[in-house]
Chain A
Amino acid sequence: MTRFQFPKSIASRPVYGRLTARPGSAHLMVADAEGAEALLDLAAAAPGLMERAHVIYLPKTTGATYARRLETLSPAQLYIGPSYPAAEPRLRKALSDAHMGLQVYLAGTEGLMGQAMREAIEAGIPAGAIQTEHRGSVARRMQCVHCKGITEDVTTDPFVCAHCGLNLFVRDHYSRRMAAFQGVCIDAEDPGDVPPSKELYS
């Protein structure tokens, strides 16, 4: 089971849906790890879609599990890459070449979807027109509001900022432009009094 039911939260926290095929002149899909399952489901529900799809996939720790299966879908273009930063130039090129009518499908972790969405918005697609489906890890991309550094794949609350070392608590307040949640110093009012870290959603 790679689907997670996020608890109801505040208005800035993204909510994710289910990918469905939409009419459009071209289709761009970006996924990481278990996000591939959402693409496989999408392909199964929409025959013919993959023939017009450009798939950017980052297997992360899933190795060949999904990569193989994505290949058998024979998308028009398939890129399998080691990391999001490695894939980003390609994503940007695909967006800058695209025309109105392009449909964007994002699947996988919040960090991946958030960053790819930021690029798509920057290229001129309204946020509301970009589809997302969460699968896999619930790790979060966090911005430290104090030093502005981003800590990737945060799974505990509180956590230590990878840049300035402050103990930060995990807020649900989310910035689309940062593609990150906000982390705020937890012991500002009682220096040194840091509660033990807990797994997110535990």
Chain B
Amino acid sequence: MTIQFKDETFHDDYTFRNSPWAIQRFPFPFHEDSYMYSVNLEPHLSLRPGSVFEKTFDVDEHYISEMKDRARVLANDPLRCQSLPHMTLAGWDLVELIMEAKARDYPDLFELHRDGDHWHWINKPLGIEQRFTFLDDSTLPCGPMEYITRQAQGDFALLDQREENLWMDAGMVTTQADWSLDFDIGMNFYEWHAPVPLAHEMGVFQRALKFLLNLQQGAPYRRLNWTMTVNPLLDTSPENYHKWGVQKTELTPENVGQKQYLRVELQSFFRLPRSNALVFPIRCYLIRLEDVVSVPKWGRRLHRVLRDLPVELATYKGFIRNRPMIVDFLSAYDDGAPTSPGIFPD
């Protein structure tokens, strides 16, 4: 099908909505009725036609509006996109990865024509046409990572690999679940994960890091992560927390179904060829509780997961104060029936 791009906002008047198509393909993150951190990595192979797991980089109805939101956030705070000098090569690797994937997976929307190092890129939804010389920074309007990630949904972190660790040395981060690239840039895997509760003690990060250090070219992996956000606010940044934090107090039993969103990140991991760096795309999907419960299995399961979630996780994810109201709302959609395994609707 051809995608009907929407014109909507992720701030102030929050006109963002999911179409029925977007709801049924939503990456619901729970494969069972409870949740705890784990090394939930699986090969990033094409799965289920039409699902968000089908393409290397999923493009959906929110593409144009998300890119506009990114441009708005960057205009307000250019520090959301940073690249340490040694990461330029990785930025070019990313240009190649994204352009090749988009042109291959969505030939009606994107085209890439290559003649040696002379590349010609066409992005129809955003109305961009660019001829440039691959690996020549002066032929793009901005750095290679910034150039291509202004045209790709989701945040991106570029990780340099050295000293048996990964270092977050570049990134484009405007749709983050409350962490700051400007603060975290230059940190290693354990350091940027430092604020996460329980997972360090469980050995999750140690094992995940070892796995990622061995990640190979041409064999990407993925995982899902999730949190809760009030209003469809993509830019839940610490930078602006003093402005958006107060929205958490605006939930009422009447509006919680519309205002409270489940926020899911489809995270993937690719080894980049020329730089030996990794790229970590973090694609954010939002869905309000009302739309979650339109899928009976999801309504039942989300109720059980949130009700039983360890308090450390609910606190870290920032919804501890609203948990009772959320669980109360969801309980109306849980009849106690058993749920089927896996994340997809029945």
Contact = CB atoms under 8 A, between A and B. Distances in A.
Chains A and B in contact, CB within 8 Å: yes
A173 B238 CA distance: 13
Contacts of A17: none
Contacts of A172: 194
Contact of A146 (B187, B192, B239): B239
A173 B179 CA distance: 11
A178 B183 CA distance: 7
Given A11-B200, A148-B79, A190-B249, A166 B183 contact: no
Contacts of A170: none
A195 B68 CA distance: 39
Interface string A168-202: 00011111111000101100111100000000000
A143 B183 contact: yes
A157 B234 CA distance: 30
A184 B241 contact: yes
A86 B191 CA distance: 31
Given A12-B194, A128-B163, A175 B184 contact: yes
Contacts of A148: 79, 182
A162 interface: no
A145 B244 CA distance: 14
Interface in B203-236: none
Given A175-B184, A176-B186, A126 B242 contact: no
A90 interface: no
Contact of B321 (A166, A188, A189): A189
Nearest to B243: A188
B246 A11 contact: no
A10 interface: yes
Contacts of B248: 189
Contacts of A126: 163
B190 interface: yes
A177 B186 contact: yes
Given A175-B183, A176-B186, A185 B241 contact: yes
Range for the number of chain B residues in contact with chain A: 20 to 34
A177 B185 contact: yes
B321 A13 contact: no
B239 A188 contact: no
B114 interface: no
A12 B239 contact: no
A178 B82 CA distance: 14
A143 B33 CA distance: 40
Contacts of A188: 241-246
Tell me whether chain A's interface is mostly helix, strand or loop, or mixed: loop
B341 interface: no
A175 B195 contact: no
B4 to A, nearest CB: 37
Contacts of A191: 246
A51 to B, nearest CB: 33
B193 interface: yes
B56 interface: no
B163 A185 contact: no
Nearest to A176: B186
Interface string A119-152: 0000000101000000000000001011010000
A97 to B, nearest CB: 22
A145 B178 CA distance: 11
Interface string A1-27: 000000000111100000000000000
B65 interface: no
A173 B195 contact: yes
A188 B238 CA distance: 11
Interface string A40-60: 000000000000000000000
A120 B185 CA distance: 17
Nearest to B205: A11
A125 to B, nearest CB: 13
B180 interface: yes
A10 B195 contact: yes
Given A173-B183, A185-B245, A189-B321, A145 B239 contact: yes
Contacts of A143: 183
Nearest to B185: A177
7 contacts: A12-B195, A146-B239, A175-B183, A177-B186, A184-B238, A184-B241, A189-B245
Interface of B: 79, 163, 180, 182-187, 190-195, 200, 238-246, 248-249, 321
